[in-house]
Amino acid sequence: MSFSIPIGPQHPALKEPTHLMVTLDGERIVDIDMRLGYNHRGIEKGAESRNYIQNIYLTERICGICNVAHTTTFCQGVEELLGLEVPKRGLFIRTLLCELNRIHSHLLWLGVAGHEVGFDTLFMYSWRDREIVMDLIEIISGNRVNIAINAIGGVRRDISDDMRAQILQGISQLEARSQYYLEVASTEVTFVRRTQGVGKLPKEKAVELCAVGPYARASGVEYDVRKDDPFAAYPYLDFKVITSDRCDVLGTAIVRVLEIMESCKMCRQIIDELPPGEIKAKAPRKVPPGEVVSKTEAPRGELIHYIKSNGSDRPERLKVRTPTLADIPSVLYSLRGGYIADIPIVFAAIDPCMACMDRVTLLDIGNRKTGNMMTWEELREYGIRWYANKKG
């Protein structure tokens, strides 16, 4: 006899609200269904009523962890519509911050994965090492999260010589630490036993369901926008695309830690080869009519922005598809047939970012008919009444 239990939207094992309806037979998952949309914020509609400069900051707030990827994709798209060429130094600094952002996101993931399997020591130590990256990002851009380094036409801040020395020192420390985490992740029995053979996704299924990012690369699909459709300064950099043929969650952990090491090498190459010159080209406010498809590799996978302009200083349409949405059919496939206790770690293997994925909710405050909405005072009164009724 099978029964269904709901997990979420509020649940201690999930970092962000989603709703999973799990049909179980004993401990095995027979079927699983997912409900999205709890973090939907109205960004695509909101972008149509803001000008292009304000939209850089709006797209940045789609996700806190991959904020550089969103601004890079947006600015790249608008620069293509304007026919603007970004100076080479600007492209290199943009790429440096994309890679630092990738390192910080993968270290964050490593900590979260450790936490989901109960290995809190790994969580604490990897997040302490993440502080090295956050300090470097703060030195360069002035803020740790939502760094707003990109502008239409280039970047806003330059890298001075003593910053270069600090960056190189931070990168050496990160390389040593990520080598250590690679050993821990692949040899520590408590981590390996929870992740090996769990959440299997064979390569054909990953291709059929169009998975992207390190999750697909752990199943052997070699698709990385930095190599296949290079943007920013990636045509000048020399790096490998990391894949693994393990097809399980341990594969995703190993791919991500190796990507941290590869990113450190890329950052070093960028600092060594940073060309002199301008960092930003002047951009007009009004964008001629046209449309553009802009793709980048966010830390979680392939990110696409489709922008259509109509000649004014506001976009006609902005469409964003984030990598987490592309991985959802694959993760639901890999959860079927597994154990219920594995749900947190298998779900965490795609590095889910619900804020990125949902993006648009519209709260119609004027028209109260849409759903159960209360103001703060109403909510307080409701709570007081509820407790008064309960006490009798």
Partner 1 sequence: MSAESDIQDKLKEVFGEQISELKTTRERRVFVKVPLPLVKEVISYLKQNLGMTHITTISALDVGEEIEVLYHFWCCGVTLSLRTSVPKANPVIDTITPIIPGAILYEREIQDLLGLKVKNHPDPRRLVLPEDWPEGVYPLRKDYKVEEG
Partner 2 sequence: MTKIGSMFPEIWAHLFKKRATVLYPFERLKVPKNLRGKPILDVEKCSLKCKGLCAIDCPAKAIVMEKIDEKASRPIFLLDRCTFCGQCAESCPFGAITLSEEFELTQYDRKSLVSKQW
Decide if 291 contacts 306 (C-beta within 8 A).
yes
Structure tokens at 272: 């060594």
Residue whose CB is less far from partner 1, 60 or 302: 302
The answer to whether 23 contacts partner 2 (rule: CB under 8 A) is no
Q: How far is the CB of 283 from partner 1 (least distance, A)?
A: 18
> What DSSP character marks residue 145?
S
Contacts of residue 277, defined as CB under 8 A and 6 or more positions apart, other chains included, come to 87, 88, 89
Residue whose CB is less far from partner 1, 114 or 323: 323
Q: Which stretch binds partner 1 (CB under 8 A): 45-53, 106-114, 348-356, 375-383?
A: 45-53
The answer to whether 125 contacts partner 2 (rule: CB under 8 A) is yes
Q: Taking CB under 8 A as the criterion, which residues in 340-379 touch partner 1?
A: 358-362, 364-366, 369-372
Alpha carbon separation from 194 to 20, 277, 384, 386 (Å, rounded): 21, 51, 45, 43
The answer to whether 314 contacts partner 2 (rule: CB under 8 A) is no
Residue whose CB is less far from partner 2, 57 or 386: 57
> What DSSP character marks residue 276?
P
- Residue pointed to by tokens 């962000």: 16
Q: How many Å apart are CA 296 and CA 76, to the nearest integer?
A: 9
Other CB atoms within 10 A of residue 169 CB = 12
- Among 15, 19, 40, 268, which residue interacts with partner 1 (rule: CB under 8 A)? 40
Q: How far is the CB of 246 from partner 2 (least distance, A)?
A: 15
Contacts of residue 8, defined as CB under 8 A and 6 or more positions apart, other chains included, come to 14, 17, 18, 19, 20
Q: How far is the CB of 37 from partner 1 (least distance, A)?
A: 4
Residue whose CB is less far from partner 2, 89 or 300: 89
Q: Which residues bind partner 2 (CB under 8 A)?
A: 50-51, 53-54, 56-58, 121-122, 125, 128, 131, 138-139, 141-143, 146, 148, 151, 156-157, 180, 183-184, 187-190, 192
